[in-house]
Amino acid sequence: MLHPQARAALEAAAGDQRVSDPAFDVEAERARDRAAALAGPREQVAQVRDLEAAGVPVRFYRPAVDRVPALVVHLHGGGFVLNDVEVHDASARRLANRTGMAVLSVEYRRPPEHPFPAAPDDVSAVTDWLVAGGLEELGLDPSTPLLAHGDSAGANLALVAALRHPGRFAALALIYPFLDPTMAGESYRTEVQGFDPADARWYWDQYAATPADLEHPDLAPLRSDRLGTLPPTLVVTAEHDPLRDEGELLAGRLAELGVEVVGTRYLGMLHGFWRHPDAYHAAEPLMRQVAAFLGQHV
């Protein structure tokens, strides 16, 4: 059953244009999202700093109170196409303050201008930069543990980063990960509220440069033969989300491979709820769950 707050969100978005509409304007939508983010409330943190990491723009946050000596690499969602560090600024600040850890939000390149593998290559470049002197440039100890966090497409990129760099991250937190371009899960047929499967297909089509890319494990990480190398991993799904089944499939596979994994399904929730604590009571408990999980592993 949909939570009443999820029903209210659906009603509020009823007239919104879908990304799969042929008239959809990517640049206009990006501009609207940034304007809305800039107009919204933001928590105070101790430091916000924009810089480049191996040529990739990043935004660094120090929490209001430093409690845990660790750095969370945050990868924003948006179907690989939409959103950026500005749109996720409020969420990154909350992540820093709830974890008590520093956060690095990555402005990876996006399709359709920069299709796969631009985004995972950018995340890899940032990851390599961090261990080659970047931590010191951020004012952190070179032994600072790294963790990775992402929502939706960002969770895909966080997972791929850990698969590309085994042993580099102490833990992962994946929020309703976008993993399967075949869209094989039954939830794509039963849970279509708020995130239509046609829109999911559009995002994959923008991301993949060629049809062969859709089978590459750096794009479709459920196909990876390295899943058993992952660190402790939290996988969160939303009950009424087409992506629900692929996230839960990942959690099941990791458990079978002996990875320390925790899977949580948020009942009544839609895709995207994590980023909107003003609209969903479940968003804050999820943020605190992420903080507790990551803190447990550093």
Q: Catalytic residue numbers?
A: 152, 241, 271
The DSSP result for the chain, as a single string, is ---HHHHHHHHHTTTPPPTTSTT--HHHHHHHHHHHHHHS-----SEEEEEEETTEEEEEEE-SS--S--EEEEE--STTTS--TTTTHHHHHHHHHHHTSEEEEE----TTTS-TTHHHHHHHHHHHHIIIIIHHHTT--TT--EEEEEETHHHHHHHHHHHHSTTS-S-EEEES----TT--STHHHH--SSS-HHHHHHHHHHH-SSGGGGG-TTTSGGG-S-GGG--SEEEEEEEE-TTHHHHHHHHHHHHHTT--EEEEEEEEEETTGGG-TTT-TTHHHHHHHHHHHHHHT-
Report residue 117 as tokens.
Answer: 């593998």
What CA–CA distance (Å, rounded) separates 74 from 107? 10
